[in-house]
Structure 1
Amino acid sequence: MAFPLPRPEASQLPQCLVRNIDCQQKAIRAVRFNADGNYMLSCGSDKSLKLWSVSQGTHLKTYSGHGYEVLDADSSYDNSHICSCSSDKTVILWDVATGQVASKLRGHAGKVNCVQFNEEATVILSGSIDGTVRCWDTRSRNFKPIQVIDDARDSISSLNVVQHEVLTGSVDGKVRCYDLRMGELRVDSINSPITCVCFSQDSHCTLSSSLDSTVRLLDKSTGDMLGEYTGHKMRGYKLDCCFSSKDDYVLSCSEDGFVYCWDLVEGSLSLKLHVGKGVVQSLSFHPTKTCLITAMEGHVQVWGLEPDETG
């Protein structure tokens, strides 16, 4: 295939600031929508994880249990549980309603950079500076990982899970795609430290950002390069990239205070969204709506089509 199909007329991009939230968590390391996009998670350098209403911008709950800064988080498909990871080497499974720790998972030898549920939320996958991806059974009282993936030669910076496939990005410059059902591994060499990876919505393509200030679109099956997106600055920070909800745009954080948005097929810059004067540390695109959240320093910004948009 050449690009994700079918290609409808390009949708609009969120470029109006709806609200700017002071999360009071010191620096925000990651910001994520939950499964349905009604809530968002902010990961703070103050050791806390917070849950927010996107439509109101109100703080709903704080989850405290990590011993150091929280680096990533994910919500289960039914929003009943959250998993988070930290520089304290642990992964925590939280009960959303009570705010209590359901499980604290230890086994990584260094800080845990990324974490995600599988689709059924029966397994948590975590990637660490120790170069491993560990798989944890959320239903078991046995707190040892059920599988350890250790092909990377350096830190795992990012991972994405869709059905039976796991995509990982590593500082060793490799993008690895595991088909757990077939027991197959495909490796694509980028030759620059990877900061973020993700599947397209149709799962036919992969996106990866790296420290050579380039975002690359690859065919998942063949590894063929389908597009390169440049112009942003990414030289020293672990920053996010993503697809828009309809796969028609590619978005990336940047160290110059902007979010860059490119047309996926044409590769042209469609929008350069000014967030502020610092580094745009993290971003997340709403799963269905034209809505974007970004993080800079201690604030999270919600972007939509209209300035007074409420959801």
Structure 2
Amino acid sequence: MCVCLSAVSFITGSYDRTCKVWGGESGEELLTLEGHKNVVYTVAFNNPYGDKIATGSFDKTCKLWSAESGTCYHTYRGHTGEIICLTFDPLSTMIASGGIDATARLWSVEHGTELATLAGHSSEVICVHFNNSGSQVASGSFDHTAIIWDTHTGRSVHSLLGHRGEISSVAFDYGGNTVATGSMDKTCKIWDIRSGQLITTLRGHKDEVLDVAFDSTGQQLVTASADGTACVFNTTTLNCVHRLQGHQGEISKVSFNAQGSRILTASGDKTAKLWDSATGLCLQTLGGHGEEVLGSLFNYQGDQIITASKDNTCRLWR
């Protein structure tokens, strides 16, 4: 199960081949988006607008939907393998998708056409992320590399080489000056966008780094690991200022609230935890799921949290 939030609702993709839209206040089902012929593995809102939904499926297609009526606007075809990640650009003009076929692709939201095939990886593309202006998109792959692409030309700008394991996650900072990559080699690397050069390698985890996230100021970076901990780094000093300990299983997802004051971690121990980013203290443990928590997110206002679990349920927390 995968999950994404807008300001007023949230969506889930499932092995039942559907995407469901749920009310953010009521938690009630609003729409069921049907049409995919296999697992809906990845979903996204076009935040901050929240009026469109993109879904990516193991049927090798992406679809674009109205978040209000459930109408399917476009079906994007071109990938030759399962689609495992997608995201909107910040202006909601493009969708980037990545798949088992070792490519990322750019799609037009307005016209429903393919804008570019981003070919350069030799293994599946596991993650994609736009910079804040939408002028660049980063792709991370199981081939141990990440690539920065120019979205206007579809050409590679930099290949980021140096990891000794599969890339698990990639994230631009808010200013678009650096990009962070998390890897199965137990490290996170920070790269300079202009030169493509490595700035530093962040170490400290005893197992795979599964997710990375910047806060909205770019002053904090958090890494989540299979060792059951998360590390909060100051991006100026590059020091780990807090190690978030307490989970009894791997941490697969991590995120900041919009203000950067709170951190949310999702774990294989069937819980999510809420942390104070300034002190590193655990503020609350969100328990109740019967299986591992696969994802957890804040809403835009930061006053709601949603958790999605392998037990096929989501929980809404206030």
Alignment TM-score, normalising by the size of structure 2: 0.77
| Superposition map of 1:106-255 within 5 A | 106-140=119-153, 143-162=154-173, 163-181=176-194, 183=197, 185-189=199-203, 190-235=205-250, 239-255=252-268
Inter-CA distance 40–227: structure 2 relative to 1 (3 Å threshold): farther
Aligned amino acid, residue 18 of structure 1:
G
Q: 1:257 to 1:177 in 2, by over 3 A?
A: same
Going from structure 1 to structure 2, the CA distance change for 1:80 and 1:156 (only over 3 Å counts) comes to: same
Give SS of 1:18's match: coil
Confirm or deny: 8 A CA contact 1:116 1:160 kept in the other structure. yes
C-alpha distance in structure 2 between counterparts of 1:69 and 1:279, whole Å: 23
Unaligned 5+ segments in structure 1 are 1-14, 306-311
Matches within 5 A, 1:49-88: 49-51=62-64, 58=70, 60-61=72-73, 63-65=75-77, 66-88=79-101
Give the letter aligned to residue 248 of structure 1: S
Contact 1:210 1:234 in 2 (8 A): no
2:266–2:273: 8 Å Cα contact kept in structure 1? yes
Deviation (angstroms), 1:131: 1.0
Deviations 1:34-70 (A, max 9, x none): 331525544444434455666x594655644333332
Whether the aligned pair in 2 keeps the contact of 1:31 and 1:283 (CA below 8 Å) is no
**Counterparts of 1:302 and 1:63 in 2: how far apart (Å)?**
30
Matched, 1:18 2:22: no
CA contact (8 A) 1:177 1:187 kept: yes
- Return the alpha-carbon distance in structure 2 between the equivalents of residues 154 and 145 of structure 1: 21
Deviates more, 1:68-77 or 1:85-94: 68-77
Q: Equivalents in 2 of 1:136, 1:180: separation in Å? A: 11
Give the counterpart letter for 2:200 in structure 1: R
Aligned partner (choices 36, 51, 59) of residue 48 of structure 2: 36
Aligned-partner SS, 1:102: strand
User: Residue 23 and residue 186 in structure 1: after superposition, are their counterparts in 2 closer, same or farther (change >3 A)?
Assistant: farther
Equivalence for 2:11: none
Q: 1:79: Cα distance to partner?
A: 0.5
Query: Retained in 2: the 8 A contact 1:239–1:281?
Result: yes
- Most deviating of 24-33 and 76-85: 24-33
Q: How far off is 1:149 after superposition?
A: 1.1
Report percent identity of matched pairs. 23
- Partner letter of residue 139 of structure 2? S
| Aligned-partner residue type, residue 93 of structure 1 | L
State the alpha-carbon separation in 2 of the partners of residues 260 and 27 from structure 1: 28
Structure 1: which amino acid aligns with 2:117? K
Structure 1 residues 147-189: Cα deviation after superposition (integer angstroms, max 9, x where no partner): 2111211111111112111111111111111123475511111
How many angstroms does 1:245 deviate by? 1.4
Judge which range, 241-250 or 258-267, deviates more: 258-267
CA contact (8 A) 1:76 1:117 kept: yes
The worse-fitting range, judged by mean Cα deviation, of 94-103 and 177-186 is 177-186
- When the two structures are aligned, how many residues end up with a matched partner? 286
Structure 1 residue identity aligned to 2:282: L
Q: Which has the higher contact order (CA 8 A, sep 6+)?
A: 1
State whether residues 295 and 309 of structure 2, in contact with CA within 8 Å, keep that contact through their aligned partners in structure 1. yes
